[in-house]
Amino acid sequence: MAARTAVVVGALGVIGRYIVERLAALPDWQVVGLSRRKGEDRGSIRHIPVDLLDAADTERKLAGLGEAAHVFYCAFQANGAQAADYAKGIGVNRDMLVNAVTAIERVAKRLERVVLVTGTKYYGSHLGPFRTPAKEDDPRHMPPDYYYDQIDWLTAHQSGKTWTWTELRPQTLCGFAPGTAMSIVPVIAVYAAISRELGLPLRFPGKPGAYRAIYQVTDSTHMANAALWAASEPRCANQAYNITDGDYFRWINLWPRIAEVFEMPHAEPQTISLVAHMADKGPLWDAMTRKYGLRPHRYEDIVAWPFGDYVFGCDWDVMTSTTKARRHGFHDVVDSEDMFVRLLAQFRAERIVP
């Protein structure tokens, strides 16, 4: 069987890098990763550094992708941490998608499917309480929301063409990709390690309501499996799917287990701004890196405190239904509490945190 070529846009992020590794582990895929930074070429993987906001640069650098059959679009450019700031991200996040897809489509005559990753902000999960469990055909909230601009453009652009699209909506990715803001696991890991170094118990830093509300997450490896399914399953053509671990949890039940991973006591929540309270901890982290022989990740690259404040500030239920994905053939599930324990233990074992 001839190898299929996949283009992963945002290949070094907390979604894209896991899709790259998932496809590269299979014998019938060649993978091209696109990102602003240059990744490492190896085996069936090659990387192209590109500025997707520069249409001419994008078209020039992607001119050699004539064999591309699948596009996995996982790129984003962060905007502000507040809901009011999301309007700032509409133009750039729409334009990156437009430039990438049009440049690839222009040369890839065998293009089959574009898998677009959005998220549960589609339902207004960032604005406050919303209908739960959210389903893919729920009505939209009041814009702005750049996910709407992305999927509306992609839907209109694909109309009448032979290739198809699939939209995937995960919630709070759990993986590790230095330099990206979209994983909660390093936030927890670094916060716990610093608390332990200071002789403090592990206290949930968010709102009391968030400590007890229902929440959900998506393991990055699980997400990569879902992306492969979405690219290959005929029923996924021109459809949207919620992709989460498939379960729900409450931080109040998980927090003691996290403390156990770090061999430290836990205490009652104390609502703080992680952005404010962790801003001066860079020198401490550098000292801990030397003291414990940690991997030399820069403090500002390993963790994004605004993302932690956002996640731990959601004092409303965050739930989406994954029934549609199951009905169309994606049956994988992950135990989220066990996943956190496993990933945090892995962070310690790999000397990312002490």
CA 87 to each of CA 28, 82, 114: distance values in angstroms, whole numbers, following the listed order: 40, 10, 25
d(CA 162, CA 165): 10
Backbone conformation region of residue 72, classed left if phi is above 0, alpha if psi is from -120 to 50, else beta: beta
The CA distances from residue 259 to 188, 223, 328, in Å, are 10, 26, 38
Distance separating the N- and C-terminal Cα atoms of the chain: 45
Q: Which two tokens stand for residue 332?
A: 């994988």
How far is residue 163 from each of residues 101, 121, 158, measured CA to CA in Å?
Answer: 12, 26, 7
Counting residues of the chain whose pLDDT is more than 90, the rounded percentage is 92
Is the entire prediction scored with pTM above 0.75? yes
Contact 178, 301 (CB under 8 A): yes
Domains of the chain: 4-173+217-243 (3.40.50.720), 178-215+248-318+334-349 (no CATH)
**Residue 83, pLDDT score:** 47
State the average pLDDT for the chain: 95
User: Where does the pLDDT of residue 81 fall: very low under 50, low under 70, confident under 90, or very high at 90 and above?
Assistant: very low
- Pick the residue with more confidence: 329 or 40? 329
Least confident residue range of 41-50, 79-88, 99-108, 227-236 = 79-88
pLDDT at 119 over 80: yes
Convert the pLDDT of each residue in 261-272 to its tens digit: 999 999 999 999
Average pLDDT rounded to a whole number, residues 119-132: 97
Q: Report the pLDDT averaged over residues 83-102.
A: 84
Nearest C-alpha neighbor of 320 from the set 118, 73, 22: 118
